[in-house]
Amino acid sequence: MADPLHTIAHTLRDAFAAVTGLPAAEIDPVVRPSPRADAQANGALALAKQLDRNPRELAEAVVATGALASVCSAVEVAGPGFINLTFTARFLAEQLAAAAADPHLGVRPAEVVETAVVDYSAPNVAKEMHVGHLRTTVIGDALVRMLEFVGHTVVRENHVGDWGTPFGMLIEHVVDLGGVGETDLSDPGGFYKQARAKFDASDEFKARARERVTLLQGRDDDSTMAIWQQLVDQSADYFDIVYGRLGVLLRRNDIVGESFYQPYMPAMLARLETAGLLAESDGAKVVWVPGFTNREGEPLPLIVQARTGGFNYATSDLTCVIDRVERLHATLLVYVVGTPQSQHLQMVFEAARMLGVLVPPARAVHVNFGNVLGDDRKMLKSRSGEPAMLLDLVDGAIARGRAAVAERNTDLDEVERAELGAVIGIGALKYAELSSDRIKDYVFDWDRMLAFDGNTAPYLQYAHARICSIFRRADVDRASVRAVVPTLDEPQERALALQLLQFDAAVHDTLDKFSPHRLCTHLFDVAQAFTSFYEACPVLKDGYEATRESRLALCDLTARVLQLGLALLGIDVPERM
């Protein structure tokens, strides 16, 4: 266990148990980093309340057990009953060495290993991916990487919109163009718009589109199914181009679209029926989910079968929950979907609970997010006034990354520069997304995300590259300093050590809240602590031979934390910049 706060929390828990007689498992000593000391424990306050005791006396009794003496150089009871802790340099150094010896750099594996399904990206077939898909794709991918890293079995699912009434007009449009083989979906947006325009303009086309939907739902008209399959395949090609360029893990075999659930829907409805949950409202089949009302305050039903007999978005999502729990045996269902779909998802989850499917340990989490805004504080648009296209943003990021590299005049050759530019540009785009609190809207700003100072990817990437260059100059192999137990005499060395040791807490905190910006903030703190250390503590300078190995060890661990932390966010780090 390399996180000193975690180690201390354990020690304190036992001490509180000894003093109060409560079982250790019921005690939370609430240990946090603190500006007053290395850490502060506030647990005495809640415990004292629970036991009707004086919190200061309780804190003092815990200190008097002497349990902290071996790892703290100072322990002080302050205020109403806080315990301020200052760690010994030796304890910190040993924890650092333990982290350095661990490929996970001290990040503890999950206590309970689960199967998690992460539902993210979810674009629609035969439509372009736009700015709305940026957040779900980037956040979902980071969560996938982190969940896997702490030991969970993760199933990526791309719940693409590949079914439903729009396919009538899309298929009919393919027929008009000359059938399978004659369409080109490299511009899916244009294709969709052409179909839509015909649908709006011609009653004859509209009628054909409606008939085609019926044929599609029957699933047994070969030419209809062939055209549908072609649209799905061509879209998957296009999605793969976007995912590849953006550097996310999703690929076509992660697609489990809405169409996949269609065959299971009648059985799902039958289960609702058997459970007595299926009701009728205005001719539609619905589930009355308690606690949900419309604007007029009337109870809101979850419609699972329209009056016409058709299935809808709720039908597929409810069927999908059953699939994830019962076929995939997932206990953690993560939905990375925008805030506007919150009510829909909560109703689906509640219906699945009522059905007895989504019951502990299985649970669902809506990882919601706000909008990406332009300067005008409205949904980010392209020049033509439509939502900005995702591929344009990705290519814009790569171009700007390359320009930044060209400006910095490095001694790299053409190929290296192009690669570095993409790493910087894509890193900047993803990090801007991940570092802002997902719940809030954020304003998209190329200059800010590509800046080499501030809480940006280029700043963190540069900190990493700078450390690599220290080792190149010293001509020292990085692995050779990994067994060194550093001395931590200077305050900046201590401060850096404390930051490095909180990597574990940052990763777990991020996963507890499904909020990647927490890990970003931590990495930024690490990079800043490194900058202060590097300014105050010479590493390679003549006259500092005695501290050289120790400081190189701090440099190496810093670079590893930055590299691993960014990798967990889906961001690469260069060795030179």
* Structure tokens belonging to residue 524: 């930024």
Task: Considering the complex, state which of residue 236 and residue 561 has its C-beta at the smaller distance from ligand ARG.
Answer: 236
Residue ranges in 213-242 that form contacts with ligand ARG under rule CB under 6 A: none
Q: Whole-angstrom Cα distance, residue 151 to residue 539? A: 36
Task: Considering the complex, state which of residue 119 and residue 254 has its C-beta at the smaller distance from ligand ARG.
Answer: 119
CB of residue 353 to ligand ARG, shortest distance in Å: 17
Task: Considering the complex, state which of residue 320 and residue 552 has its C-beta at the smaller distance from ligand ARG.
Answer: 320
Contact criterion met (CB below 8 Å) for 255 and 120: no
CB of residue 115 to ligand ARG, shortest distance in Å: 17
Q: Contact region for ligand ARG (CB under 6 A) — 116-124, 414-422, 456-464, 506-514? A: 116-124
CB of residue 15 to ligand ARG, shortest distance in Å: 47
* Structure tokens belonging to residue 118: 């992460």
Task: Considering the complex, state which of residue 337 and residue 424 has its C-beta at the smaller distance from ligand ARG.
Answer: 337
Q: Whole-angstrom Cα distance, residue 175 to residue 502? A: 59
Q: Residue 311: how many CB atoms within 10 A of its CB?
A: 24
CB of residue 251 to ligand ARG, shortest distance in Å: 18
Q: Whole-angstrom Cα distance, residue 149 to residue 141? A: 12
Q: Contact region for ligand ARG (CB under 6 A) — 24-32, 35-43, 118-126, 441-449? A: 118-126
Q: For residue 453, give the nearest of 466, 464, 462, 465 by alpha carbon.
A: 462
Report in angstroms the alpha-carbon separations of 429 from 370, 417, 516.
16, 18, 14
CB of residue 217 to ligand ARG, shortest distance in Å: 19
Q: Contact region for ligand ARG (CB under 6 A) — 11-19, 119-127, 444-452, 523-531? A: 119-127
Q: Whole-angstrom Cα distance, residue 4 to residue 300? A: 50
Task: Considering the complex, state which of residue 12 and residue 337 has its C-beta at the smaller distance from ligand ARG.
Answer: 337
Q: Contact region for ligand ARG (CB under 6 A) — 29-37, 103-111, 117-125, 193-201? A: 117-125
CB of residue 552 to ligand ARG, shortest distance in Å: 48
Q: For residue 168, give the nearest of 128, 123, 206 by alpha carbon.
A: 206
Q: Which helix (H) or strand (E) holds 536?
A: helix 517-536
CB of residue 482 to ligand ARG, shortest distance in Å: 43
Q: Which helix (H) or strand (E) holds 367?
A: strand 363-367
CB of residue 159 to ligand ARG, shortest distance in Å: 4
Task: Considering the complex, state which of residue 40 and residue 158 has its C-beta at the smaller distance from ligand ARG.
Answer: 158
Task: Considering the complex, state which of residue 332 and residue 468 has its C-beta at the smaller distance from ligand ARG.
Answer: 332
Per the omega criterion (within 30 degrees of 0), is the bond before 361 cis? yes
CB of residue 179 to ligand ARG, shortest distance in Å: 27
Query: Read out DSSP for 304-322?
Result: EE-TTS---HHHHHHHHHH
CB of residue 379 to ligand ARG, shortest distance in Å: 14
Q: For residue 9, give the nearest of 508, 518, 517, 560 by alpha carbon.
A: 508
Q: Whole-angstrom Cα distance, residue 258 to residue 124? A: 10
* Structure tokens belonging to residue 134: 């940026």
Residue ranges in 120-179 that form contacts with ligand ARG under rule CB under 6 A: 122, 124, 159, 161
By rule CB under 6 A, what count of residues binds ligand ARG? Answer: 8
Task: Considering the complex, state which of residue 161 and residue 421 has its C-beta at the smaller distance from ligand ARG.
Answer: 161
CB of residue 514 to ligand ARG, shortest distance in Å: 15
Among 38, 162, 172, 317, binds ligand ARG (CB under 6 A): 317
Q: For residue 428, give the nearest of 247, 293, 229, 187 by alpha carbon.
A: 247
Q: How far apart are the first and last CA of the chain?
A: 34
Task: Considering the complex, state which of residue 230 and residue 316 has its C-beta at the smaller distance from ligand ARG.
Answer: 316
Torsion of CA 538, 540, 545, 546, to 10 degrees: 50
| Residue with smallest beta-carbon separation from ligand ARG | 122
Among 246, 248, 337, 432, binds ligand ARG (CB under 6 A): 337
Task: Considering the complex, state which of residue 157 and residue 433 has its C-beta at the smaller distance from ligand ARG.
Answer: 157
Contact criterion met (CB below 8 Å) for 432 and 444: yes
Q: Binding of ligand ARG at residue 285 (CB under 6 A)?
A: no
Q: Whole-angstrom Cα distance, residue 90 to residue 497? A: 11
Task: Considering the complex, state which of residue 317 and residue 572 has its C-beta at the smaller distance from ligand ARG.
Answer: 317
* Identity at 180, one-letter amino acid code: V
Residues that bind ligand ARG (CB under 6 A): 119, 122, 124, 159, 161, 317, 335, 337
